[in-house]
Amino acid sequence: MNTEEEESLKGQAEIWEHMFAFVDSMALKCAVELGIPDIINSHGRPVTMSEIIIHLKTTTSSSSPNVDYLTRVMRLLVRKRIFTSRLHQESNQILYDLTPSSKWLLRDSTLNLSPMILLQLHPVFLKPWQYMGKCVQESSFPFEKAHGCDGIWDFALANPQFNQLFNDGMGCTAKIAVNMMLAKYKDGFKGIRTLLDVGGGTGSMIAKIVESNPHIKGVNFDLPHVITTAPVHPGVTNVWGDMFVDIPEADAVIMKWILHDWSDENCVKILRNCYKAISKTKNGKVIIVDCVLQPDGHGPFDKTGLAFDLLMMIDTGGKERTEVEWNMLLKSAGFPRYNVIQIPTFPSIIEAFPECR
């Protein structure tokens, strides 16, 4: 086989792999729904398929889980390094164990991405992708095409069960982000008396920040239908409102995965309201927890950033932004200076200051 034939074969193989990339995602969802990582973890050692099946029989309504189906699902997930497998020489049975990846799927763990998997792979979120080509042609909004409403928040307002799923997904990522922030950005909270979390959802992120920084008075700010389901956290006040209209005064404002949901025009409106909210504070700042896109980067989350950019296009009409785009956006809203701080998770921290100093 000559070089041209080898390149052609490689190209064909890559297309087949991309074509069925969704299978990896759905197999992962299957494992999360069945609680396979938790079953393995509960034994404290590698387990056989028989032990997994026995656990499924005793914890679900099904008396006869399909062994063949699950064996084939696990074979794929082992290939994708979600689990490991090895043959036990004495029993001649395959033993399955966790990997650094599947440890992020344990439901009892503080750092758990399972709710985000169940959210992103829910039919509500998958359906709009079917309209991507048509919406590129028509310059229309895929989520609206799929569900007949303006966006995720309108859909969540009309569907309480999905709203809970959405809050759980956002909540688990907030826990991961705040844990990394408290480890790598703890000095960033010094001198802040009042910290307002715009779009704070159930308030889990601001609650964790206040717990570690008891000198801070926390405010969880979100839409009415979100705040009505938000629990009470010590040191945190739940306040409902509209960030496009007005944001309550605070020493500092924090926003996690908010601005990537919106167009540049809408982001400028939000940021200008943030500017007003902190304008009476001498050392006020806006803490943005969001992706800084690196289209040609080779970092651990750079591919995820590109995927998230299309996710925003599909579900919210928003976008991920490069540092150049962040700079332009912040200057348009009156923030002439900013810092980008990397933390060991997908989003970064962007500190925006209303004046040079």
Positions marked catalytic: 260
The whole-angstrom separation of Cα 23 and Cα 75 is: 13
Q: Do the beta carbons of residue 268 and residue 323 sit within 8 Å?
A: no
Q: Do the beta carbons of residue 154 and residue 140 sit within 8 Å?
A: no
Which DSSP string corresponds to 229-253?
TPPP-TTEEEEE--TTT-----SEE
Q: Do the beta carbons of residue 251 and residue 280 sit within 8 Å?
A: no
Cα 245-248-253 angle, rounded to 5 deg: 105
Distances, alpha carbon 188 to alpha carbons 129, 273, 356, in Å: 38, 21, 17
The whole-angstrom separation of Cα 59 and Cα 53 is: 10
234 exposed, middle or buried (CB, 10 Å; 0-12, 13-18, 19+)? exposed
Exposure class string for 275-304: b at 16+ Cβ within 10 A, else e: bebbeebeebbbbbbbbbbbeeeeeebbee
The whole-angstrom separation of Cα 12 and Cα 1 is: 15
The whole-angstrom separation of Cα 345 and Cα 351 is: 17
The whole-angstrom separation of Cα 323 and Cα 329 is: 10
DSSP three-state, residue 203? coil
